[in-house]
Amino acid sequence: MAYTVPKLTDYTAAALESAANECIGACKSEAAAVHNDAELKSFRDRWMARKNGILTQINDQWLKGAPRDAKREAGIRVNELKARITEHVESAQIADHDNASEERVDITLPGVRRAMGAEHPIIKTSHEIVAVFQKLGYSVAEGPVVETDYYNFEALNFPPNHPARDTQDTLFIANQQSKAQRERLLLRTHTSPVQIRTMEKMRPPIRIVIPGTVHRNDPPDASHSPMFHQIEGLAVDTNITFGDLKGTLDHAMKSLFGSSVKTHFRPSFFPFTEPSAELYVTCFICGGSGKREGGAPCRPCKQTGWIEVLGCGMVDPNVFEFVKDNGYDPKKVSGFAFGMGVDRLAMLKYGVDDLQLFFQGDVRFLEQFG
């Protein structure tokens, strides 16, 4: 039976006390029975509403009905009561949700996901590689994609008519016949020209890393594209050794592929480095064993346990000769350079078996990298 404000006839202290206690008791038990926001609101309204709330009724009935001589005492009492009730009402909380466990949603329904874009896997891989070298003190440099013969070949120690130029399958810009050979424009076949461009602008010591787009005259197929991406690195100082080249790249490979990978350097030939090397890392697919789980042969590393990741070497003194006037006397400074194909590393990293997937813009492919 819900509490209603009783009419007071007896204004003795004891009677007032008893009426007050009854009221507080009712308030407390009602407060305890509040189960949700709606109930809390109606509970508050019932007790506190200015129009006809219980406190208002008490005020109206008990005070106004009090005999003259009891008015003062009743006033004090009622005020006390109001404070206590107010306190109870204010502190009333939604009681333990006995039936909350029945308020169930189907948690297997799919979440509403807002579309989020994914960074392109080649750009992402490029950023990761650049970040590793930035932490080693390398600054990012850039250079033009449409390059002159001079920067792409000549200053990198590819003399005119040298056989090493044949292997580059260069795409040339049309209508260049009237220019001297070194001025003729072509699409750079590697990011290496930026080595020269940077050394022309900055005196040693330098440490740069050069991400960029390069082109070769290769028709597109699963493993070739006329456009692809490289990252080039160059460090020149008065004290750079072949051991530094090895140590730097060993550190970088461990940062990229995990601290357990091993590196292996093999002699190679590039016109602009000497000595030149190819860097291999233990295959990150099979862990270097040459075999997949279950004993199947590991194909990415051709079962050798090693994957070639980049070309590198000590900067050839002939290259320094082209920028000698800017502080690059090959007798005084030495340096190393390295270059890697980003697309291929991204293919290895994500297990992409067709290079063309990178350039089609198929969102079903791209969104998986988010």
Partner 1 sequence: MKPLLAVGFWLLAKSQWPRANSVLMKLSPNWIRDFVDLSVDDHRLAEDLTNVGLGVEGVNGTGADTTWEMEIGTNRPDAMNHYGVAREAAAIYEKQLSALSCQLSPKPSSDTTFPITVEEPSLCPRFSGLVIRNTRIKPSPEKIAHRLQLLDQRPISNAVDATNYVLWEIGKPTHVFDMDLLEGGRIVVRKARAGETLKTLDGVERKLTTEDLVVCDAKKPVGLAGVMGGYDTMITDKTRNIVIESAWWDPGIVRKMSRRHALHTDASHRFERGADFESCPLSCNLVAKMILDSGGGELVGDVVDAVSKKIDQAPVLLHMSEVQRILGGSLDAGHVYRLLKRLGFELVPEGQGSSQKDQQFWVHIPSWRLDVEREIDVIEEIARLHGYDKFQNTLPAYSGAVVALPHAGMQATLRRRALALGYNEGVSLTFISHADAEKFSAPGARVLELENPLSEEASVMRTSLVPGMIDMLAYNLNRDVAEARLFEIAGVYELANGERVEPRRACLGVTAAAVRAALPKGSVLDVSKGDQSAAAEAFRGFKGDVESLLATFSGDLSYDRQVAEYLHPGRSVRALLNGAPVAQFGQLHPDVAAARKLRQDVFVAELDLEQLYRLGPRRVELAPPAKYPAVERDFSFVFSDEVSFGQMQAAISATGIRELQNKDTRPVEIFRGGSIAAGKYSILLRVRFQSAERTLREDEIAKWSAKIVSVLTELGGVQRA
Stretch 229-268 residues interacting with partner 1 (CB under 8 A): 230, 232, 235, 237, 239-244, 246-248, 250-251, 256-258, 264-268
CB of 314 to partner 1, least distance (A): 6
CB of 44 to partner 1, least distance (A): 24
Q: Which is nearer to partner 1, 85 or 273 (CB)?
A: 273
157, 318 Cβ separation under 8 angstroms: yes
CB of 283 to partner 1, least distance (A): 9
CB of 181 to partner 1, least distance (A): 14
Q: Which is nearer to partner 1, 81 or 283 (CB)?
A: 283
CB of 48 to partner 1, least distance (A): 25
Catalogue the long-range contacts made by 286-289 (C-beta closer than 8 Å, 24 or more residues apart). Answer: 287/260, 288/262
d(CA 216, CA 342): 15
CB of 306 to partner 1, least distance (A): 10
One-letter amino acid for residue 270 of the chain: F
**Which tokens sit at 364?**
């079903």
Of 168, 220, 175, nearest in space to 193 by CA: 168
Of 62, 66, 101, nearest in space to 81 by CA: 62
Interface pick for partner 1 out of 11, 89, 192, 234 (rule CB under 8 A): 192
The yes or no reply on residue 73 touching partner 1 (CB under 8 A) is: no
Give the 3-state secondary structure of 225-277. Answer: CCEEEEEEEEEEECCCCHHHHHHHHHHHHHHHHCCCCCEEEEEEEECCEEEEE
Interface pick for partner 1 out of 213, 291, 326, 327 (rule CB under 8 A): 213
Of 173, 172, 149, 151, nearest in space to 161 by CA: 149
165, 149 Cβ separation under 8 angstroms: no
Site string for partner 1, 13-52 (x = CB under 8 A): ----------------------------------------
Using CA atoms, how far residue 120 sits from 227, 325, 356, 370, in Å, is: 15, 41, 13, 9
Q: Which stretch binds partner 1 (CB under 8 A): 32-40, 63-71, 76-84, 209-217?
A: 209-217
Q: Which stretch binds partner 1 (CB under 8 A): 37-45, 88-96, 102-110, 334-342?
A: 334-342
d(CA 288, CA 193): 34
The yes or no reply on residue 75 touching partner 1 (CB under 8 A) is: no
Interface pick for partner 1 out of 33, 131, 140, 180 (rule CB under 8 A): 140
The yes or no reply on residue 370 touching partner 1 (CB under 8 A) is: yes
Residue matched to tokens 């109870």: 88
**β-strand pairing of 206-215 with 139-140:** parallel
CB of 182 to partner 1, least distance (A): 15
211, 229 Cβ separation under 8 angstroms: yes
Site for partner 1 in 152-181 (CB under 8 A): 161, 163-164, 167-168, 171-176
Site for partner 1 in 265-294 (CB under 8 A): 265-271, 274-278, 284-285, 287
195, 232 Cβ separation under 8 angstroms: yes
Q: Which is nearer to partner 1, 26 or 323 (CB)?
A: 323
Contacts with partner 1 by CB under 8 A: the residue count is 122
The yes or no reply on residue 309 touching partner 1 (CB under 8 A) is: yes
CB of 199 to partner 1, least distance (A): 13
| Neighbouring-strand partners of residue 210 | 232
91, 39 Cβ separation under 8 angstroms: no
CB of 179 to partner 1, least distance (A): 11
Interface pick for partner 1 out of 118, 179, 181, 183 (rule CB under 8 A): 118
Residue matched to tokens 């399958």: 169
One-letter amino acid for residue 115 of the chain: A
The three-state secondary structure class of 37 is helix
